[in-house]
Amino acid sequence: MPPSDTPSKPERDQGRITTAVKGPIGWITIDNPSRRNAVTLAMWQAIPKALAGLAGDEAVRVVVLKGAGDETFVAGADISEFETVRKDAASARAYEDSNAAAFSALRECPKPTVAMIRGFCLGGGLGLAAACDIRIAEAGSRFGIPAGKLGVGYPPKAVRDIVKLIGPARAKLLFYTAARIGSEEALRIGLIDREVAAGALEIEIAEFLQAIAGHAPLTLKAAKAAIDAVTGDPEEADWDMVQAMADACFDSADFAEGRSAFLEKRAPRFSGR
């Protein structure tokens, strides 16, 4: 089950990013429920640090991104700030840099990342979800990119995340129409990876996360690096590093443990070394 965060009311009204570790699972919560978990500039800036902390914790095997409460994942950026933090091209570029840094931190996290989605997943919230490795949504969730209604530009690499998931034509459809689609449609086009029944999200995702956490961390890290290299910009890929990560698996204690566990017909106990 997701950990429960109960900050004081003033803190909640300001919005914040919280982290928690429960067993091998690291949790990042977008916590601004009074604004449907809209992300403020300070929250965008806090996301990379939160991810770095969980990525550096050896006990954490998988990182989950969720919204506070039971109604909304993330309804987008906090538009109430735009008159001050996004008022012209210069301030907008600085704001977009903070957006891009948050998306990149998720995209480049060496550990598996999962977006746990319930309710609205819009704009910057969809960008955050798309930057994760896996997206699991509760039935009835709603998705969309309302940028065209606001006159804002979307970070190019965040656009690339969307295009990689659903292709250029469907990505254009989302941007051009600013329409909202349901979880069933999002699953059909590949925007999310799994839809679970209403009321079953916590149970389903707990089982999914435990399965990931039980596998060899070095293998998952190497697989993520290889998949990202294959699907990313070929000019940016460090193929020597990716190969070295795969090679390192065979020199690890976990490889020996996996072989022993298989022969002894027991569950392996991986250490990440």
- Tell me what pLDDT residue 8 has: 41
Please state, rounded to an integer, the average pLDDT across all residues of the chain. Answer: 91
204, amino acid identity: E
> Could you confirm whether domain 9-213 is CATH 3.40.50.720?
no
Tokens 């689609």 label which residue? 181
Give the integer Cα–Cα distance in Å for 78 and 239. 39
Rounded average pLDDT over 72-89: 82
Higher pLDDT, 235 or 175: 175
Q: Which residue intervals of the chain are DSSP H helices?
A: 9-14, 41-55, 82-85, 89-108, 124-131, 147-150, 156-166, 168-177, 183-189, 201-213, 217-231, 239-250, 253-264
User: What is the Cα gyration radius of the chain?
Assistant: 19
| Contact of 32 with 15, CB cutoff 8 Å | yes
Span 220-230, pLDDT tens digits: 999 999 999 99
Query: At residue 177, does pLDDT exceed 50?
Result: yes
Give the integer Cα–Cα distance in Å for 76 and 178. 13
- Tell me what pLDDT residue 155 has: 85
Rounded average pLDDT over 242-267: 93
pLDDT band at 213 (very low <50, low <70, confident <90, very high): very high
Span 100-138, pLDDT tens digits: 999 999 999 999 999 999 999 999 999 999 999 999 999
Query: At residue 5, does pLDDT exceed 70?
Result: no
Query: At residue 189, does pLDDT exceed 80?
Result: yes
- Tell me what pLDDT residue 82 has: 75
Question: Which stretch of 24-33, 192-201, 253-262 has the lowest confidence by average pLDDT?
Answer: 253-262
Span 152-172, pLDDT tens digits: 888 888 999 999 999 999 999
Rounded average pLDDT over 76-90: 78
pLDDT band at 13 (very low <50, low <70, confident <90, very high): low
Rounded average pLDDT over 45-56: 97
| Contact of 71 with 118, CB cutoff 8 Å | yes
Beta carbons within 10 angstroms of residue 266's beta carbon: 9
Span 244-255, pLDDT tens digits: 999 999 999 999
Which sequence spans correspond to the domains of the chain?
9-213, 217-264
Query: At residue 4, does pLDDT exceed 50?
Result: no
- Tell me what pLDDT residue 80 has: 81
- Give percent above pLDDT 70 in the chain: 95
- Tell me what pLDDT residue 263 has: 92
- Tell me what pLDDT residue 7 has: 44
